[in-house]
Amino acid sequence: MKIEPRRRKVRILATLGPASSSYEQIRALYLAGADAFRLNMSHGGHEGHTEVVGHIRALERETSRPMTILADLQGPKIRIGRFDAPVELKNGQRFTLDRHDTPGSTTRAFLPHPEIFGVTEPGQRLLIDDGKVALRVLAVTPDAIETEVAVGGRLSSNKGLNVPDAVVPLAALTEKDRRDLDFALDAGVDWVALSFVQRPEDVAEARRLIGGRAQLLAKIEKPQALDRLSEILEIADAVMVARGDLGVEMPPEAVPMAQKRIVQAARKAGRPVVVATQMLESMITSPTPTRAEVSDVANAVYDGADAVMLSAESAAGAWPVEAVRMMDAIASAVETDPEHARRVHFTETLLEPTTADALSGAAGQIAGTISARAVCCFTTSGSTARRASRERINVPLLVLTPKLATARQLGLLWGVHAVHTRDVNDFEEMVSKAKRMALRASVAGSGDRIIIMAGVPFGTPGSTNVLHIARLTGDELKSRK
Instruction: Show which residues are catalytic.
Output: 38, 79, 219, 277
> According to the 3-state scheme, what is the secondary structure of the chain?
CCCCCCCCCCEEEEEECCCCCCHHHHHHHHHHCCCEEEEECCCCCHHHHHHHHHHHHHHHHHHCCCCEEEEECCCCCCECCCECCCEEECCCCEEEEECCCCCECCCEEECCCHHHHHHCCCCCEEEECCCCEEEEEEEEECCEEEEEEEECEEECCCCEEECCCCCCCCCCCCHHHHHHHHHHHHHCCCEEEECCCCCHHHHHHHHHHHCCCCEEEEEECCHHHHHCHHHHHHHCCEEEEEHHHHHHHCCHHHHHHHHHHHHHHHHHHCCCEEEECCCCHHHHCCCCCCHHHHHHHHHHHHCCCCEEEECHHHHCCCCHHHHHHHHHHHHHHHHHCHHHHHHCCCCCCCCCCCHHHHHHHHHHHHHHHHCCCEEEEECCCCHHHHHHHHCCCCCCEEEEECCHHHHHHHHHCCCEEEEECCCCCCHHHHHHHHHHHHHHCCCCCCCCEEEEEEECCCCCCCCEEEEEEEECCCHHHHCCC
